[in-house]
């Protein structure tokens, strides 16, 4: 029986460039960075600093089909405890912000893009 999702993989054009964005710009921690497990392959995963049960795999695109998928991998949803501070911090770092902070009945959110155009929706649930 399937019990949980542990990883999601996105295609990237350059793993070092992607790592710099996710680590330095978004503040994600590096969980794995192993280029010795398989010849010619680097297993590189990151995660938000307070999350241990899920990792985002920064997978190097090498085929034309994989390269065509870079930046077209759906919407990732992130949780924030201070959405306005996160919005200001990302905007200050030059991240491409698609929307202002929206206040909705289910919480507040805004959408930004990573360096390849993948969408991330940052959500802060409403306070009780």
First-residue to last-residue Cα distance in the chain: 35
Are residue 4 and residue 59 in the same domain, yes or no?
yes
Per residue in 80-122, pLDDT (tens digit) is: 999 999 999 999 999 999 999 999 888 899 999 999 999 999 9
**Where in 48-115 does DSSP place strands (E)?**
55-60, 75-79, 102-104, 107-113
pLDDT value of residue 34: 94
CA distance 78 to 75: 10
Specify the pTM.
Answer: 0.83
Domain boundary among 44, 70, 96: 70
Q: Are 83 and 124 in contact (CB under 8 A)?
A: yes
Are residue 44 and residue 13 in the same domain, yes or no?
yes
Are residue 37 and residue 62 in the same domain, yes or no?
yes
Residue 83: CB atoms within 10 Å: 20
Report the chain's mean pLDDT, rounded to a whole number: 93
Are residue 65 and residue 97 in the same domain, yes or no?
no
Residue 45: CB atoms within 10 Å: 22
Are residue 64 and residue 97 in the same domain, yes or no?
no
Split into its structural domains, the chain has a count of: 2
Where residue 124 sits, what CATH number does that domain have? Answer: 3.10.180.10
């Amino acid at each position: 029986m399937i019990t949980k999702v542990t990883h999601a993989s996105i295609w990237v054009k350059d793993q070092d460039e992607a790592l710099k964005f996710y680590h330095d710009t978004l503040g994600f921690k590096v969980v794995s960075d192993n280029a010795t497990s398989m010849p010619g392959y680097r297993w590189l995963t990151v995660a938000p600093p307070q999350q241990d049960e899920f990792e985002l795999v920064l997978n190097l695109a090498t085929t034309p089909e994989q390269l065509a998928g870079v930046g077209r991998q759906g919407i990732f949803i992130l949780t924030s405890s201070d959405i306005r501070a996160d919005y200001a911090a990302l905007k200050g770092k030059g991240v491409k912000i698609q929307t202002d902070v929206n206040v909705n009945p289910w919480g507040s959110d805004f959408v930004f893009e990573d360096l390849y155009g993948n969408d991330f929706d940052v959500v802060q649930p409403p306070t009780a």
